[in-house]
Structure 1
């Protein structure tokens, strides 16, 4: 993941907030699911979504993937989240007895339901922290962990909102199927990926990522525009980038990333199949444009 933070803004409001009284824990707002789970099989993303709450109190939850991954983007939205602030400490958990994971999500809005808490990528056991995956070949969501999910709980300054999802093993299986379909759409061999002994490895990541990070688009910066973008490159058997695409996980107006232009200089060790032979594959990551406050 490439995280871009060009400036730091210190606001008086933040100074005053530090002297405020501690948050008082309240009873959680629990929202029951009010619709079926739906999976959108699109060419550039897979989305698992459902509505929560009553007809006069509608909320939305969705998991989203733009490429096969052990993590998924997560968005929860609705009126119960109106007091949540962007990049503030937010506790996240998925089942009873789980130690809450400290996170700092974005906030925004989702049309028709309102205020939203937005995560670029989360994992059921690791939250937003980095971790080493033990999976070989094509990254996939862990179905066993998904079966342990009871809810999605976000809590900030004593305000907890809990989406009662129930186990999501079968739903995550469908997401895995959807991302495999995307790999086929890109013109790649899914079976080779499932049995791969190695996925592509980015050799000059630090140098290229620094150049991407140094070029926060000025028009977007002047507007205070932030974004979560998904970048995907096709890597040939020689380790060269054949093509690059960027898709927005959040809506932007002026923010056009220079990442694909910089990726022309990226160098990879190619993916290796089960027999150790190079094959055409992909490398994907998230690019987060963020103005720190």
Structure 2
């Protein structure tokens, strides 16, 4: 697997000088100050770019943990000091796509840079109300849903997307001029297809599968309140843990891997131990209806009321 970062779409670099809104009610508009960078990490594909300079320097990160249309955002820079304890942010890709509300946790990128780490998945073009209902029905029936199959993002959609806007809870809206997103997201797709091969899964077979691995019973019973690590509970620590299970042809987990965690030392071991013991699936089926090796991605959130 490629592990180093490499530059994507250097030709998309516009002006390195930030555009500062003159009126306090107007958005702050920032142009790119770096090319897109595509990082082939071991557990995810990370697309990142820097906008603006100096005190306005802002970093946009889009992480994708498997093939699909959705991604997890990170926004880093001084603007995120507008909300230091987490909350919900209004995000809009475009111009023209509908605004979406995505929950975030406040944290840091590196040791010093304040950041919003988004917990929910975002898409360039969010689901409509009818599509959300379709996803909810699929989740109720199968325990998971694939929004890519319900409302795929086309290459024309990606090419038409040239900016991302962050609004509330920022004091002033922030607009990042990305340039057409298609070339950068092409690189993301190539990365996620390669990523799947390192899980022992054929990406072509996975795309053609007639059924995904479906949880037997509700995943909500795999890890419950009584499983909260005592040491973290006593410290008042909360956690958000994203995991990946590799599922065998018999529907049993072959391995558990933590893809991202807010507190690796406190929660990760507990999560994987319990999932390996309790998680069971109806196996994925290939195009011919035969059981096949597959993967399952989800998250666990430990919250103190």
Q: Which residue of 1 aligns with 2:229?
A: 217
Q: SS at 1:50's partner residue?
A: strand
2:192 to 166, 179, 191: 179
Q: More displaced, 192-201 or 104-113?
A: 104-113
**Residue 107, structure 1, aligned to residue 106, structure 2:** yes
Higher helix proportion: 2
**Distance across 2 between alignment mates of 1:155 and 1:259:** 34
Is the 1:217–1:257 contact (alpha carbons within 8 Å) kept by the matching residues of 2? no
**Distance across 1 between alignment mates of 2:238 and 2:185:** 29
**Distance across 2 between alignment mates of 1:26 and 1:177:** 40
**Residue 284, structure 1, aligned to residue 290, structure 2:** no
1:228 to 218, 226, 240: 240
Per-residue CA shift, 1:200-220, capped at 9, x if unaligned?
1111234534x3454232333
Query: Unaligned 5+ residue runs, structure 1?
Result: 1-24
The alpha-carbon distance between structure 1 residues 39 and 70, as it changes in their structure 2 partners (threshold 3 A), is same
Q: Which residue of 1 aligns with 2:46?
A: 47
The alpha-carbon distance between structure 1 residues 265 and 251, as it changes in their structure 2 partners (threshold 3 A), is closer
Q: TM-score, normalised by structure 2?
A: 0.76
Using the TM superposition, give the Cα deviation of residue 107 of structure 1 relative to its aligned residue in structure 2, in angstroms: 1.5
Is the 1:86–1:105 contact (alpha carbons within 8 Å) kept by the matching residues of 2? no
**Distance across 2 between alignment mates of 1:215 and 1:134:** 30
Per-residue CA shift, 1:84-103, capped at 9, x if unaligned?
24443421111133342233
Is the 2:46–2:62 contact (alpha carbons within 8 Å) kept by the matching residues of 1? yes
Query: Unaligned 5+ residue runs, structure 2?
Result: 1-23, 136-145
**Distance across 2 between alignment mates of 1:135 and 1:94:** 17
**Distance across 2 between alignment mates of 1:208 and 1:151:** 41
1:1-293 paired onto structure 2 within 5 Å: 26-111=25-110, 114-120=113-119, 121-126=121-126, 132=135, 133=146, 135=148, 143-157=155-169, 158-206=171-219, 208-209=221-222, 211-250=223-262, 252-256=264-268, 258-263=270-275, 264-291=277-304
Using the TM superposition, give the Cα deviation of residue 39 of structure 1 relative to its aligned residue in structure 2, in angstroms: 0.6
Using the TM superposition, give the Cα deviation of residue 194 of structure 1 relative to its aligned residue in structure 2, in angstroms: 1.9
Q: CA RMSD in A?
A: 2.8
Q: TM-score, normalised by structure 1?
A: 0.79
**Distance across 2 between alignment mates of 1:145 and 1:213:** 42
